[in-house]
Amino acid sequence: MTLHTSPTRTATDPRYAGGAAYMDGTFMPLGEARIPITDWGYRRSDVVYDVVSVWDGAFFRLDDHLTRFRASMEATRLVPRETDDEIRTMLHRLIALSGLTESYVAMDCLRGAPLPGTARHPKNTRPYLIAFAIPYVRLVSPEIIERGTHAIVASAVRIPDASLDARHKNFHWADMTSGLFEADERGADMPILLDAAGNVTEGPGFNVFVIHDGRVATPDSNVLGGITRLTVIELCAELGLPCDVRPVSAEELRNADEILFSSTSGGPFGVTRIDGRILSNDRPGPLTNRLREAYWAKRKAGWHAEPVRYDLV
Ligand code: PLP
C-alpha cells in the first residue's frame, strides 16, 4: 500500500496549527474546545475514551480502535448519536484540519449533565462525543526509549476488574497517578501495578510483557485489551517467539530477562531496571529490540494502515 506521506504538510487554516478538536458535531481549533464544568464526564469521571495514532499520514488499526471504543461505550451505557462510520469520517476530517502527519488522536464519550427538570440520574442525560488531534505523544521521551525505561512495582493495587472492567478504557486513574508519583519519588520513570493477588496488571498508558528464556508472556486479566499488545502478540507469532497470555506473577516480573511495555503512545519499548535491578546490561534486550524494530518497520510499510483523507478539510 502506498502511504499518503507529506512531512511538510501544514494546517490549511493557521488556527488549526496546534491541533484540531470536535465537540458534539462542531469542529474547532484545539484551544477553543471547552467542556461545561457541570458535565458528569468531568465531575464523576463518567466517560470512556480511546486513542489511535497517525504515523506517516495514516491511521494505525483504526477499525480495531473503533470496535474497542464502541464496546467501551456500550458497556457503560455511554452511547453518542454518531455511528462508527460517522466517527471514522470525523477523525479523518480532524487530522485533515490539523495538517498533522504524526498525531495522537483522542476520542471521548462524556455523560453530559441531567437535563433541566429531571432527576439526578445518569439515564436523564444525553451522552456526547468529543475528539481532538495533537502532535504525536510518547509516554516517555525518545532518550528514555533509547536507554531503556526504569520501572518500579507500585504499592498501589490496580482497581479490580470486579469493580471496573479494565477492558473499557476509562479515566479512573487514581491508582495510576499515585504510582506515577511513587515512581518519580523512587527515581524511576514508570510504575507497574499488581492486582490484589500479587499478579502483574498494567501501568499508566501501557500493557506489560515479560520475557524468560526466549518465551514471552503478558497478563490475561485486569488489563485493557491494548491494540499495541495485540500487535506485539501478532509480531511474536511472525518472529517465531512463543507468547503466552496468562497470569504473570510479580516474582516473574522481577526475575525477567527482559520486560517490554506496549502503547499507542510509543509502540513497544523496553525496560532496563525493575525496582533498581538491572536487566540486559542496562540496555533494551535483544528480543525487545527485534519486536520494536519489526513494529516500526511494518508500520512504515503500511501494515494495518488507513491513509488519512487530507481532502476532507
Ligand atoms: N493500559 C492502559 C491502562 C492504557 O491506558 C493504555 C493506553 O492508553 C494501554 C494499556 C495500551 O493500550 P493501546 O496499545 O491500545 O494504546
- Closest Cα to atom 13 of ligand 1: 226
Indicate if 142-300 has the same CATH topology as 14-136.
Answer: no
Kindly provide the b/e burial profile for residues 242-273, where b requires at least 16 CB atoms within 10 angstroms of the residue's own CB. ebeeebbebeebeebbbbbbbbbbbbbbbbbb
Q: In this predicted model, what pLDDT tens digit does every residue of 36-69 receive, in sequence order?
A: 999 999 999 999 999 999 999 999 999 999 999 9
* Averaged pLDDT for residues 180-184: 98
**In CATH, what is the architecture of 14-136?**
2-Layer Sandwich (3.30)
Q: Which atom of ligand 1 is nearest to the CA of 262?
A: 14
- Would you state the cell numbers that stand for residue 135, as one nine-digit string? 502532535
Residue 5 vs residue 33, higher pLDDT: 33
So what's the pLDDT on residue 85? Answer: 98
Give dist(CA 293, CA 268) in Å, integer: 9
Q: Which atom of ligand 1 is nearest to the CA of 231?
A: 14
- Closest Cα to atom 10 of ligand 1: 206
Q: Can you give the residue ranges of every domain in the chain?
A: 14-136, 142-300
pTM flag (> 0.90): yes
- Residue 258 C-alpha to ligand 1 middle, in angstroms? 20
Q: In this predicted model, what pLDDT tens digit does every residue of 219-271 receive, in sequence order?
A: 999 999 999 999 999 999 999 999 999 999 999 999 999 999 999 999 999 99
Complex prediction ipTM: 0.99
- Residue 166 C-alpha to ligand 1 middle, in angstroms? 10
Ligand 1: which of 224, 260, 292 to mutate, most ligand atoms within 8 Å of CB?
224
Q: In this predicted model, what pLDDT tens digit does every residue of 123-181 receive, in sequence order?
A: 999 999 999 999 999 999 999 999 999 999 999 999 999 999 999 999 999 999 999 99
Q: Which atom of ligand 1 is nearest to the CA of 227?
A: 15
Helix (H, G, I), strand (E, B) or coil at 185: helix
Alpha helices, DSSP H only, in the chain?
A: 40-43, 62-75, 84-98, 142-147, 174-185, 227-239, 250-254, 286-300
Ligand 1: which of 69, 263, 304 to mutate, most ligand atoms within 8 Å of CB?
263
Q: In this predicted model, what pLDDT tens digit does every residue of 258-267 receive, in sequence order?
A: 999 999 999 9
- Closest Cα to atom 3 of ligand 1: 205
So what's the pLDDT on residue 172? Answer: 97
Q: Which atom of ligand 1 is nearest to the CA of 204?
A: 3
Helix (H, G, I), strand (E, B) or coil at 215: strand
Does the pLDDT of residue 8 top 90, yes or no? no
- Would you state the cell numbers that stand for residue 26, as one nine-digit string? 462542531
Residues lining ligand 1, Cβ inside 6 A = 51, 202, 205-207, 224, 226-229, 262-264
- Residue 103 C-alpha to ligand 1 middle, in angstroms? 16
Q: How confident is the model at residue 12 (pLDDT cuts 50, 70, 90)?
A: confident
User: What is the assigned CATH class of domain 142-300?
Assistant: alpha beta
- Closest Cα to atom 12 of ligand 1: 226
Does the pLDDT of residue 5 top 70, yes or no? no
- Residue 50 C-alpha to ligand 1 middle, in angstroms? 9
